[in-house]
Structure 1
């Protein structure tokens, strides 16, 4: 049945698995995607949305690299919002509300239209590992399928255990069985494993809600999109979300169930995400708060199913129901399904290389929640990078590794490999020290040329990026070189209540003022004429504005990143003997031996390593 040798086998059909399979196949590797349910490819197990703070930047990076997440998100969006618009552009983060059923369907159809990609529905029970190298997989039916590389993207399915109040049962998510066997094989091979927890809110019948008692949350007046390609279009019509609040009455009802909560009675011992706590955790930790926000999110264009964002819980279903009925607008609520918590196996990511290949077993890659991350976007980006690197390894090409100043994806992977994680890892803008360089608007400038060089980003994508880059650079030069009279400028400056000028000046200088934006500059005839003559779109105007108004910050951050690169260039041999260095602290020595940093720069980012340890290491290496 499977006599041919595959180049890449991807285990798991979630967001990580889907991107991994697409990347490997599009690069030319003969790829097999194995999942327990072909009907649930790229399922949105939790909230029906893509993007958000820092996550939106990741989706744009995936798109710039030639992945599918941005395209699928655009084609199945029901609402678009650019978050943090009141802050600087480094913080702007796109987010879409998605049609959950259409999202999974679109992913399935795109994957089925991808050359070199085969599918098989069955549970993978184990791995074929010989002499420190992966050779394929074993299925629950006893099939052995051989492959040069294997990418594990198992999500929450590895020995998954679902909790609802006193009840617990095996499962990877609601209605689907857990996966058994892989963890045991990996532990036997020498891997360290751990347990993590995540949760999800109840889904309810939107027909039973009274939206007049809630605040309406509309999308942007002029919606944008994720993908840089012209083939996707911004939304014309959008669906609103709504917002309600819990109350002291709701909190008191929830407390009635604390003694039956698996979180508080000790049945759940693993850690969940701090930044996305369950509702019972919120009212326990923030006892002084009289209310918490609940975002009421539609699951699609036509379905009446609604996701109650902010009410993640593992309390007994009767307590969930009683408490939610005390929320404004939910007085007559009907449940589709209760919320639940799920525990699952993960493998501390310090056991990986920056390519996401494991250090212990050659040709074996981990991506997504198996690495201790949470979120569709984080998973998808890891899948993409694992798929790329598996293909490159097979073809004996240099690995594709993104640095911290090149992409949020680079920050994510470096954090995992270098620092590890003991709780579900989520990306934040604060994790990126070069976030002014890593904006959502310039992901194509940063990454498309790199991806095109390895054969993933298309020629069409590269050419579109080059046209945009040239046009925005020319517009910046236009502002640098073109003067405006003080009479013209003062009309606009007076409107914005900022200091007037007494003589003609370059438009660049006027535009650099924080009070002035592109709409103000377009009041000048020369600017209107330039835009009309060159037929510039909103994307190019926005790019030019960011480059002008934040040029000082961008240059400073670029200089800081360039200094860091000097340490990135100092490589540490893979077999380096740290025991020879007597001056190293005990903690640094143990961390270096466990993580095996590739460069001095990576070594300096390991928690517990001091600057003096790095100095000792540099001296010993003759630097």
Structure 2
């Protein structure tokens, strides 16, 4: 026999698969990572970037839980920006432009350096199931790899079908074949499968672009980072650029609509509402004369350019002709056209909160197989599935993050309670407790949890404790130090803020709109001496916590109310059809999803407030 029995076998080595393997391995599990191609581990199939609005918060949360996405990004990024800086801190979102080739290389090297991870390169064609329990995987060579748990992270490869105009070809990604057999087996086992669609834009030769016709978009100075560990600082950055379509571009694209698989019915899959193709945008927003494009380099040394915002499945000749009507792209050359891809996914309402399937014991789904889109959404699901798989093997309590704990908790809660009828993408608006779930405090929120799970995160915890101590010291100084009017009235006047009439505590001044701790310190040597003791990140965290203390307290009170509902547990085998008064839809949804608590039941689409009231009465509350 070639293989020993593994604690966890992970199928697929995209972002979900890599984090799943690392999470289980970091907890001491013996892990097998099976992939069709070792050369495409952690390949960025779409845009060469990590983070963004809400997604950046997820990467920080993955890092705080000892995942690798933030570390890999810091080592391989070519530009960093903190988005939404003009808004409140709940909206601040880190984003990095990555070197596509270095990103994948770094991930592979880190995985290979882990002594608990083995690899197997071959197509996986099925799961070995005995007595409704996953006990391994089956490969195209007929080999069986035995396992105590299995995690499927198949991305867009399950019966993947690529569309370019009127042409179709099987594939999970450009130049790579689709995966066959798994969907069919899961359907036979009783799973509900559907189709989704996503797309990607053409790749352009940087040497053929007239850069002077585009707007320059520089990175932040100094550049930030994702990881809370000691990753390298980005000293030099590559700029991105911004361009625009116009009426001529739109008219040219419209000429190809009759040959578009989007409009002639060949694509049946559910497409992304929040990241539409260029033909979708022209059709849905016909009143707009132009659409913004982000011209993004693929790395430090390559000439390949990603034309973000120009995703298309139109015929390649139409794409090429329209692209050349964009200012700056008059002589542009394509490396390859954009395309749409359809693939199988499984409604996530078929999962438990741990991402384990309800129908097959020990089988977990993570990533696009659950109907999500985006590297970050996939990676965090992989991390959660990896942790829960090894905890199941060891017969430990399931690990579930609440909506008030992390964006990761919001994402998984949304998926299993509501399902999705389009590729699910995370936004800050999906989270009720955005002030609590900021990007600056993910380590404070989650690294102690990682330690409690058994992760080796003592160095991270030392930093968390130092950050908390810095916040206490800065806060105490602000509350105790009295500032005199003559010291800062000139600064307040420059902000249009009312001058001081008498000495006041410094904290009261800090809480004024537009007042900034770092700027205050330039006028107060005593404050500067305190702040200079700590990293800028610690100071920023302390200032945010002080300025938003009232909002934070309010959200904490809301969390406490919700936690009361979460504490009312519902039995796994509860007979909802036997409770008089529950709506028919409520009975059906509750019986299918099997919520673990009243709180979870209240978030299921179709379960009404009156249904919850009846359940509370029935449970003696």
So what's the TM-score if we normalise by structure 1?
A: 0.99
Match of residue 581 from structure 1: 579
Q: Following the alignment from structure 2 to structure 1, what is the Cα–Cα distance between the partners of residues 62 and 224?
A: 17
2:612 to 600, 603, 614: 614
CA–CA distance in structure 2, aligned partners of residues 504 and 304 of structure 1: 60
Is residue 240 of structure 2 the alignment partner of residue 241 of structure 1?
yes
Report matched runs for 1:118-133 at 5 Å.
Answer: 118-133=118-133
Equivalent residue, structure 2, for 1:539: 537
Name the SS of the counterpart of 1:427 in structure 2.
Answer: coil
Structure 2 portions without partners, runs of 5+? none
Structure 1, 46-55 or 449-458: larger mean CA deviation: 449-458
**Could you tell me how far 1:479 is from its partner in structure 2?**
0.7
Deviation at 1:453, TM superposition (A): 1.1
Aligned equivalents of 1:555 and 1:487: distance in 2? 34
Q: What's the CA shift for 1:3? A: 3.5
Range with greater deviation from structure 2 (470-479 or 359-368): 470-479
Q: Which residue of 2 aligns with 1:591?
A: 589
Task: Provide the secondary structure at the position in 2 that maps to 1:221.
Answer: coil
Matches within 5 A, 1:2-401: 2-230=2-230, 232-401=231-400
Q: What is the alpha-carbon distance in structure 2 between the residues aligned to residue 570 and residue 413 of structure 1?
A: 20
Note the alpha carbon deviations across 1:354-381, whole angstroms, 9 max, x for none.
1100011110000000000000000000
Please state how far the C-alpha of 1:495 moved relative to its aligned partner.
2.3
Tell me the equivalent position of 2:412.
Answer: 413
User: Cα offset for 1:621?
Assistant: 1.2
Query: Could you give the per-residue CA deviations for residues 93-124 of structure 1, whole angstroms, max 9, x where no partner exists?
Result: 00000000000000000000112100010000
Partner of 2:601: 603
Question: 2:242 and 2:125 mapped to 1: Cα distance?
Answer: 43
* Deviation per residue, 1:232-259 (Å, 9 max, x gap): 1221100001111101000011011100
How far, CA to CA, are the matches of 2:315 and 2:447 in structure 1?
48
Distance 1:342 1:292 in 2: 23
Q: Can you list the C-alpha shifts for 1:373-432, whole angstroms capped at 9, x where unaligned?
A: 000000000000000010111111111110100100000000001111011000000000
CA–CA distance in structure 2, aligned partners of residues 12 and 5 of structure 1: 18
1:558 corresponding residue in structure 2: 556
Secondary structure of the corresponding residue to residue 90 of structure 1 = helix
Structure 2 counterpart SS, 1:149: strand
- Give me the whole-angstrom Cα distance separating, in 1, the residues matched to 2:596 and 2:472: 36
Distance 1:529 1:296 in 2: 43
Q: Which runs of 5+ in 1 are unaligned?
A: none
What residue is the counterpart of 1:422 in the other structure?
421
SS at match of 1:515: coil
- Superposed, 1:428-577 pairs within 5 Å as 428-522=427-521, 523-532=523-532, 535-577=533-575
Within 2, Cα distance between the matches of 1:2 and 1:569? Answer: 47
- The superposition leaves residues 34-76 of structure 1 with CA deviations (integer Å, 9 ceiling, x where unpaired) of 0000000000000000000000000000000000000000000
Per the alignment, in what secondary structure is the counterpart of residue 264 of structure 1? coil
In the alignment, is the contact (CA less than 8 A) between 1:355 and 1:386 conserved in 2? yes
> Counterparts of 1:482 and 1:288 in 2: how far apart (Å)?
57
Q: Is the 8 A contact 1:476 1:547 kept in 2?
A: no
Structure 1 SS opposite 2:470: helix
CA drift at 1:481: 1.7
Worse-matched range after superposition: 155-164 or 450-459: 450-459
- Partner SS, residue 539 of structure 1: helix
Task: Give RMSD over aligned pairs.
Answer: 0.9
Shift in Å at residue 465 of structure 1? 1.3
Matches of 1:494 and 1:312 in 2, distance apart? 49
Cα-to-partner distance string for 1:575-610 (whole Å, 9 max, x where unaligned):
001111120111111111111111101111111221
Q: Distance in 2 between matches of 1:457 and 1:170?
A: 43
Q: What TM-score does the superposition give when structure 2 sets the normalisation length?
A: 0.99
Q: Hey, what's the Cα distance between the residues in 1 that align with 2:4 and 2:324? A: 57
Q: CA deviation digits over 1:440-465, x for unaligned, max 9? A: 00000000000011122521111111
Partner Cα distance (1:341, 1:529) in 2:
57
After superposition, give the CA deviation of every residue in 1:529-578 in whole Å (9 maximum; x if it has no partner): 2234xx21111110111011111111111111111100010000000011
- 1:452-499 alpha-carbon deviations (Å, 9 max, x no partner): 111225211111111111112221121112111233232322222211
Question: 2 CA distance for matches of 1:395 and 1:115?
Answer: 20
Cα deviations across residues 7-60 of structure 1 (Å, max 9, x unaligned)? 000000000000000111111110000000000000000000000000000000
Structure 2 Cα separation of the partners of residues 3 and 465 of structure 1: 41
Structure-2 separation of matches of 1:217 and 1:528: 32
> 1:137, 1:146 within 8 Å by CA — same for their partners in 2?
yes
**How far apart, in 1, do the equivalents of 2:15 and 2:156 lie?**
12
Cα distance in 1 between the residues matched to 2:187 and 2:456: 37
1:308-339 CA-partner distances (Å, limit 9, x unpaired): 00000000000000000110111111111100
For residues 251 and 495 of structure 2, what CA distance do their matches in structure 1 show?
A: 50
Count of residues in correspondence between the two structures: 620
Of the structure 1 ranges 172-181 and 221-230, higher mean CA displacement relative to structure 2 is found in 221-230
Alpha-carbon separation, structure 1, partners of 2:224 and 2:469 = 21
Asked whether the 8 Å contact 1:448–1:457 carries over to 2, the reply is no
